[in-house]
Protein backbone atom coordinates (compact mmCIF):
# COMPACT_ATOMS: atom_id res chain seq x y z
CA UNK A 1 0.00 0.00 0.00
CA UNK A 2 1.11 3.58 -0.66
CA UNK A 3 1.69 6.57 1.60
CA UNK A 4 0.16 9.70 0.08
CA UNK A 5 0.72 13.31 1.16
CA UNK A 6 -2.13 15.71 0.39
CA UNK A 7 -1.24 19.40 0.04
CA UNK A 8 -4.37 21.55 0.17
CA UNK A 9 -5.21 25.14 -0.81
CA UNK A 10 -6.15 26.58 2.58
CA UNK A 11 -8.58 29.22 1.28
CA UNK A 12 -10.74 27.12 -1.05
CA UNK A 13 -13.55 25.10 0.49
CA UNK A 14 -13.66 22.96 -2.67
CA UNK A 15 -10.05 21.87 -2.03
CA UNK A 16 -10.81 20.99 1.61
CA UNK A 17 -13.93 19.05 0.62
CA UNK A 18 -12.07 17.13 -2.06
CA UNK A 19 -9.21 16.36 0.33
CA UNK A 20 -11.68 15.07 2.92
CA UNK A 21 -13.35 12.83 0.36
CA UNK A 22 -10.16 11.48 -1.17
CA UNK A 23 -8.54 10.86 2.23
CA UNK A 24 -11.49 8.67 3.16
CA UNK A 25 -11.36 6.89 -0.22
CA UNK A 26 -7.62 6.16 0.15
CA UNK A 27 -8.03 5.02 3.74
CA UNK A 28 -10.77 2.55 2.74
CA UNK A 29 -8.32 0.98 0.30
CA UNK A 30 -5.54 0.58 2.83
CA UNK A 31 -3.39 3.54 1.84
CA UNK A 32 -1.89 5.92 4.40
CA UNK A 33 -2.63 9.64 4.13
CA UNK A 34 -0.56 12.51 5.50
CA UNK A 35 -1.41 16.18 6.00
CA UNK A 36 0.59 19.11 7.27
CA UNK A 37 -0.90 20.83 10.35
CA UNK A 38 -2.37 23.81 8.48
CA UNK A 39 -3.93 21.52 5.86
CA UNK A 40 -5.30 19.08 8.43
CA UNK A 41 -7.02 21.97 10.20
CA UNK A 42 -8.96 23.10 7.11
CA UNK A 43 -9.74 19.51 6.11
CA UNK A 44 -10.85 18.57 9.63
CA UNK A 45 -8.61 15.50 9.92
CA UNK A 46 -6.22 16.10 12.85
CA UNK A 47 -5.58 12.34 12.97
CA UNK A 48 -3.60 12.59 9.72
CA UNK A 49 -1.16 15.30 10.87
CA UNK A 50 2.59 14.83 10.47
CA UNK A 51 5.34 17.29 11.31
CA UNK A 52 6.71 19.17 8.28
CA UNK A 53 10.13 17.55 8.65
CA UNK A 54 8.49 14.09 8.48
CA UNK A 55 6.24 14.72 5.48
CA UNK A 56 8.49 13.09 2.89
CA UNK A 57 9.91 10.26 4.99
CA UNK A 58 8.59 7.02 3.50
CA UNK A 59 6.19 8.98 1.29
CA UNK A 60 5.35 7.52 -2.14
CA UNK A 61 3.23 10.23 -3.74
CA UNK A 62 2.19 13.85 -3.17
CA UNK A 63 -1.11 15.27 -4.41
CA UNK A 64 -1.62 19.00 -4.89
CA UNK A 65 -5.23 20.12 -4.44
CA UNK A 66 -5.62 23.71 -5.61
CA UNK A 67 -4.22 25.77 -8.44
CA UNK A 68 -0.74 26.44 -9.76
CA UNK A 69 0.21 28.19 -6.50
CA UNK A 70 -0.56 25.05 -4.50
CA UNK A 71 1.42 23.05 -7.04
CA UNK A 72 4.43 25.30 -6.49
CA UNK A 73 4.09 24.78 -2.73
CA UNK A 74 3.86 21.01 -3.17
CA UNK A 75 6.94 20.82 -5.38
CA UNK A 76 8.86 22.93 -2.88
CA UNK A 77 7.90 20.53 -0.08
CA UNK A 78 8.75 17.22 -1.78
CA UNK A 79 11.16 17.75 -4.69
CA UNK A 80 14.33 17.20 -2.66
CA UNK A 81 13.06 13.68 -1.85
CA UNK A 82 12.26 12.94 -5.55
CA UNK A 83 8.60 12.26 -4.72
CA UNK A 84 6.24 12.35 -7.72
CA UNK A 85 3.39 14.88 -7.69
CA UNK A 86 -0.14 14.69 -9.08
CA UNK A 87 -1.62 18.14 -9.62
CA UNK A 88 -5.39 18.53 -9.28
CA UNK A 89 -6.76 21.72 -10.83
CA UNK A 90 -9.14 23.68 -8.61
CA UNK A 91 -7.78 27.01 -9.81
CA UNK A 92 -7.97 29.14 -12.94
CA UNK A 93 -5.20 28.62 -15.52
CA UNK A 94 -3.91 25.23 -14.45
CA UNK A 95 -0.65 25.20 -16.42
CA UNK A 96 0.97 22.83 -13.95
CA UNK A 97 -1.94 20.66 -12.87
CA UNK A 98 -2.80 17.43 -14.68
CA UNK A 99 -6.15 16.22 -13.33
CA UNK A 100 -9.64 17.69 -12.97
CA UNK A 101 -11.37 16.94 -9.62
CA UNK A 102 -13.97 14.65 -11.20
CA UNK A 103 -11.19 12.43 -12.57
CA UNK A 104 -9.12 12.15 -9.40
CA UNK A 105 -10.29 8.69 -8.34
CA UNK A 106 -9.68 7.37 -11.85
CA UNK A 107 -6.24 8.99 -11.78
CA UNK A 108 -5.41 7.17 -8.54
CA UNK A 109 -6.53 3.87 -10.06
CA UNK A 110 -4.23 4.48 -13.04
CA UNK A 111 -1.34 5.52 -10.82
CA UNK A 112 -1.58 2.48 -8.56
CA UNK A 113 -1.84 0.26 -11.66
CA UNK A 114 1.40 1.79 -13.01
CA UNK A 115 -0.36 3.43 -15.99
CA UNK A 116 1.42 6.78 -15.81
CA UNK A 117 4.56 8.61 -16.84
CA UNK A 118 6.87 11.01 -15.01
CA UNK A 119 7.63 14.36 -16.61
CA UNK A 120 10.73 15.96 -15.12
CA UNK A 121 10.95 19.73 -14.86
CA UNK A 122 14.11 21.67 -14.09
CA UNK A 123 14.16 23.49 -10.75
CA UNK A 124 16.09 26.61 -9.89
CA UNK A 125 18.40 26.67 -6.90
CA UNK A 126 18.55 30.12 -5.30
CA UNK A 127 21.24 30.75 -2.71
CA UNK A 128 20.96 34.01 -0.78
CA UNK A 129 24.10 35.98 0.08
CA UNK A 130 22.86 38.81 2.29
CA UNK A 131 25.43 40.28 4.71
CA UNK A 132 22.82 42.85 5.78
CA UNK A 133 20.70 40.12 7.34
CA UNK A 134 17.55 41.29 5.55
CA UNK A 135 17.02 37.81 4.09
CA UNK A 136 17.97 34.49 5.65
CA UNK A 137 21.11 33.17 3.98
CA UNK A 138 19.77 29.81 2.93
CA UNK A 139 18.95 28.05 -0.34
CA UNK A 140 15.48 28.10 -1.85
CA UNK A 141 14.10 26.10 -4.75
CA UNK A 142 11.85 27.44 -7.50
CA UNK A 143 9.81 25.70 -10.17
CA UNK A 144 8.90 29.02 -11.81
CA UNK A 145 11.22 31.87 -10.91
CA UNK A 146 13.18 34.05 -8.54
CA UNK A 147 12.45 37.79 -8.72
CA UNK A 148 14.45 40.75 -7.46
CA UNK A 149 12.47 43.96 -7.87
CA UNK A 150 12.06 47.51 -6.66
CA UNK A 151 10.29 48.30 -3.41
CA UNK A 152 9.34 51.93 -4.16
CA UNK A 153 6.95 53.11 -6.84
CA UNK A 154 8.51 55.57 -9.28
CA UNK A 155 12.08 54.41 -8.65
CA UNK A 156 14.31 51.83 -10.25
CA UNK A 157 16.86 49.57 -8.60
CA UNK A 158 20.42 49.01 -9.75
CA UNK A 159 21.39 45.37 -10.02
CA UNK A 160 24.80 44.04 -11.05
CA UNK A 161 24.79 40.74 -12.96
CA UNK A 162 27.71 38.32 -13.02
CA UNK A 163 27.74 35.18 -15.17
CA UNK A 164 30.12 32.35 -14.22
CA UNK A 165 32.28 34.75 -12.18
CA UNK A 166 32.56 37.23 -15.08
CA UNK A 167 30.84 40.60 -14.66
CA UNK A 168 28.18 41.06 -17.36
CA UNK A 169 26.46 44.41 -16.88
CA UNK A 170 24.57 46.62 -14.43
CA UNK A 171 20.81 46.91 -14.89
CA UNK A 172 18.80 50.02 -14.03
CA UNK A 173 15.36 48.43 -13.91
CA UNK A 174 12.14 47.75 -12.06
CA UNK A 175 13.51 44.27 -11.43
CA UNK A 176 14.91 41.09 -12.95
CA UNK A 177 13.38 37.63 -13.23
CA UNK A 178 15.41 34.42 -13.25
CA UNK A 179 13.06 31.82 -14.67
CA UNK A 180 13.04 28.14 -15.51
CA UNK A 181 11.41 26.87 -18.72
CA UNK A 182 8.31 26.09 -16.65
CA UNK A 183 8.36 29.68 -15.40
CA UNK A 184 8.63 31.10 -18.92
CA UNK A 185 4.81 31.25 -19.03
CA UNK A 186 4.56 32.89 -15.60
CA UNK A 187 5.88 36.34 -14.59
CA UNK A 188 8.62 36.27 -17.25
CA UNK A 189 5.94 35.98 -19.93
CA UNK A 190 4.30 39.24 -18.79
CA UNK A 191 7.74 40.91 -19.03
CA UNK A 192 7.95 39.82 -22.70
CA UNK A 193 10.30 36.92 -22.11
CA UNK A 194 10.35 33.94 -24.50
CA UNK A 195 8.05 30.93 -24.19
CA UNK A 196 10.18 27.83 -23.66
CA UNK A 197 9.03 24.21 -23.71
CA UNK A 198 8.75 23.19 -20.04
CA UNK A 199 10.86 20.03 -20.31
CA UNK A 200 13.80 21.99 -21.71
CA UNK A 201 16.70 22.81 -19.39
CA UNK A 202 17.79 26.44 -19.35
CA UNK A 203 17.72 29.60 -17.25
CA UNK A 204 16.20 32.85 -18.49
CA UNK A 205 17.26 36.25 -17.17
CA UNK A 206 14.55 38.79 -18.04
CA UNK A 207 14.66 42.47 -17.05
CA UNK A 208 11.40 44.15 -16.01
CA UNK A 209 10.93 47.59 -17.60
CA UNK A 210 14.68 48.30 -17.86
CA UNK A 211 15.78 51.93 -18.18
CA UNK A 212 18.47 51.06 -20.72
CA UNK A 213 18.72 50.10 -24.39
CA UNK A 214 19.54 46.46 -23.64
CA UNK A 215 16.16 44.95 -22.72
CA UNK A 216 16.43 41.39 -24.03
CA UNK A 217 16.10 38.11 -22.19
CA UNK A 218 19.27 36.06 -21.83
CA UNK A 219 18.77 32.30 -22.29
CA UNK A 220 21.56 30.57 -20.39
CA UNK A 221 22.86 27.04 -19.96
CA UNK A 222 21.46 25.28 -16.86
CA UNK A 223 25.04 24.85 -15.61
CA UNK A 224 25.46 28.64 -15.52
CA UNK A 225 26.09 30.30 -12.17
CA UNK A 226 24.22 33.57 -12.19
CA UNK A 227 24.91 36.13 -9.48
CA UNK A 228 22.70 39.20 -9.03
CA UNK A 229 23.77 41.88 -6.53
CA UNK A 230 22.05 45.05 -5.35
CA UNK A 231 24.49 47.79 -6.34
CA UNK A 232 22.58 51.01 -5.65
CA UNK A 233 21.35 52.63 -2.47
CA UNK A 234 17.73 51.52 -2.98
CA UNK A 235 16.76 48.12 -1.55
CA UNK A 236 15.17 45.35 -3.58
CA UNK A 237 12.57 42.74 -2.66
CA UNK A 238 13.35 39.06 -3.21
CA UNK A 239 10.63 36.53 -3.92
CA UNK A 240 10.87 32.88 -4.97
CA UNK A 241 7.84 31.29 -6.65
CA UNK A 242 5.67 34.06 -5.22
CA UNK A 243 6.98 33.67 -1.65
CA UNK A 244 8.38 36.95 -0.36
CA UNK A 245 11.69 36.25 1.39
CA UNK A 246 12.63 39.78 2.43
CA UNK A 247 14.59 42.85 1.34
CA UNK A 248 18.08 42.90 -0.11
CA UNK A 249 20.28 45.91 0.68
CA UNK A 250 23.35 47.25 -1.13
CA UNK A 251 25.88 44.40 -1.40
CA UNK A 252 23.26 41.68 -0.88
CA UNK A 253 22.40 39.29 -3.67
CA UNK A 254 21.58 35.82 -4.88
CA UNK A 255 23.35 33.04 -6.74
CA UNK A 256 21.10 31.03 -9.06
CA UNK A 257 21.73 27.82 -10.97
CA UNK A 258 19.93 24.61 -11.83
CA UNK A 259 18.95 22.60 -8.75
CA UNK A 260 20.32 19.13 -8.08
CA UNK A 261 16.81 17.64 -8.06
CA UNK A 262 14.00 17.99 -10.59
CA UNK A 263 10.26 18.30 -10.10
CA UNK A 264 8.68 14.94 -10.95
CA UNK A 265 5.17 15.53 -12.28
CA UNK A 266 2.82 12.59 -12.86
CA UNK A 267 1.11 12.61 -16.27
CA UNK A 268 -1.39 10.10 -17.63
CA UNK A 269 -1.07 10.92 -21.33
CA UNK A 270 1.53 12.83 -23.35
CA UNK A 271 1.20 16.59 -22.80
CA UNK A 272 1.05 18.65 -25.99
CA UNK A 273 2.54 21.93 -24.81
CA UNK A 274 1.56 23.76 -27.98
CA UNK A 275 -2.07 22.71 -27.63
CA UNK A 276 -2.04 23.83 -24.00
CA UNK A 277 -0.76 27.24 -25.14
CA UNK A 278 -3.49 27.46 -27.76
CA UNK A 279 -6.14 26.62 -25.20
CA UNK A 280 -4.91 29.00 -22.50
CA UNK A 281 -4.46 31.96 -24.87
CA UNK A 282 -7.45 31.29 -27.10
CA UNK A 283 -5.35 30.96 -30.25
CA UNK A 284 -7.25 30.07 -33.42
CA UNK A 285 -6.47 27.34 -35.93
CA UNK A 286 -6.78 29.70 -38.89
Instruction: Check residue 180 and give its pLDDT.
Output: 98
Sorting pLDDT into bands at 50, 70 and 90, what band is 94?
low
Choosing from 21, 27, 47, 68, which is the catalytic residue? 68
* Domain boundaries along the sequence of the chain: 3-115, 123-260
Return the CATH class of domain 3-115. alpha beta
Task: Tell whether the model's pLDDT for residue 286 goes beyond 80.
Answer: no
The string of pLDDT tens digits covering residues 155-185 is 999 999 999 999 999 999 999 999 999 999 9
Cα distance between residue 183 and residue 164, in whole Å = 22
Mean pLDDT of the chain: 94
Q: Is the pTM of this model over 0.75?
A: yes
- Percentage of the chain with pLDDT > 90? 85
- Concerning whether 21 is annotated as a catalytic residue, the answer is no
CA distances from 93 to 4, 127, 250, 279 (A): 25, 29, 37, 10
Q: Which of 69, 267, 29, 12 is nearest to 4 (CA)?
A: 29
Instruction: Check residue 93 and give its pLDDT.
Output: 62
DSSP 179-231: E-SGGGGTHHHHTTPPP--TTS--EEEEEES-SSS--PPEEE-TT--EEEEE-
Instruction: Check residue 31 and give its pLDDT.
Output: 97
Higher pLDDT among residues 59 and 90, named by residue = 59
Q: Domain 123-260, what fold? A: Tumour Suppressor Smad4 (2.60.200)
Amino acid sequence: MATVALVVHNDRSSAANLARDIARWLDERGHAVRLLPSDAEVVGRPDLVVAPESLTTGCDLAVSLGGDGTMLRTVDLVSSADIPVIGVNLGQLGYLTEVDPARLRDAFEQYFAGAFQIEERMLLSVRVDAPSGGVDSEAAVALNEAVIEKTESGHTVRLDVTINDHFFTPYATDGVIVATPTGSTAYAFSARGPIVAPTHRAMMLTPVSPHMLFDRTLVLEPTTELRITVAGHRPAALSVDGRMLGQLQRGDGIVATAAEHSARLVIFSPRDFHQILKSKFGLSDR
